[in-house]
Copies of this chain bind each other. A is one copy, B any other.
Amino acid sequence: MLLRQLEYLVALAREGHFARAAAACFVSQPSLSAGIRKLESDLDVPLVQHGARFEGLTPEGERVLHRARRILHERDALQQELAEMRGQLTGTLRLGAIPTAMTVTSLLTTQFCEHHQQVTIELESLSSRDIMRRLAEFEIDAALTYLDDGALQGVRKFPLYEEQYLLLTPGDGPCAGQSDVSWAQAAEVPLVLLSRRMRNRRILDEFFAAESATASPAVETDTVDGLYAHLASGRWSSVISHAWLHMFGIPAGMRVVRLKEPDASRRPSVGLVVAAHARESAMVRALLAVAGGAGVRDALDALLKAHLDS
Binding site for B on A (CB under 8 A): 1-3, 43-45, 59-60, 63-64, 67-68, 70-71, 74-75, 77-79, 81-82, 85-86
Contacts and interface: CB of A to CB of B under 8 A. Distances in A.
Given A3-B3, A60-B85, A74 B67 contact: yes
A86 B79 CA distance: 35
A75 to B, nearest CB: 6
Given A43-B78, A44-B82, A64-B78, 7 more contacts: A63-B81, A63-B82, A64-B82, A67-B74, A68-B78, A70-B74, A71-B74
Contacts of A59: 85
Contacts of A79: 43
A1 B71 CA distance: 12
Contacts of A75: 1, 67, 71
Chain A contact residues, majority secondary structure: helix
A82 B43 contact: yes
A78 B42 CA distance: 12
A68 B3 CA distance: 13
Copies of this chain held together in the complex: 2
A67 B77 contact: yes
Contacts of A81: 63, 67
Nearest to A64: B78
A82 B60 contact: yes
B74 A78 contact: no
20 contacts: A2-B2, A2-B3, A3-B3, A43-B78, A43-B79, A43-B82, A44-B82, A45-B82, A45-B86, A59-B85, A63-B78, A63-B85, A64-B82, A67-B74, A67-B75, A67-B78, A68-B78, A71-B74, A71-B75, A71-B78
A300 to B, nearest CB: 38
Contacts of A82: 43-45, 60, 63-64
A146 to B, nearest CB: 29
A50 to B, nearest CB: 18
A2 B3 CA distance: 7
A81 B63 CA distance: 8
Task: Give the one of A67, A77, A81 with max B CB within 10 A.
Answer: A67
A45 B2 CA distance: 22
Nearest to A277: B277
A194 to B, nearest CB: 39
The 8 closest A-B pairs by CB, nearest first: A67-B78, A71-B74, A70-B74, A45-B82, A63-B81, A71-B71, A60-B85, A43-B82
A45 B59 CA distance: 39
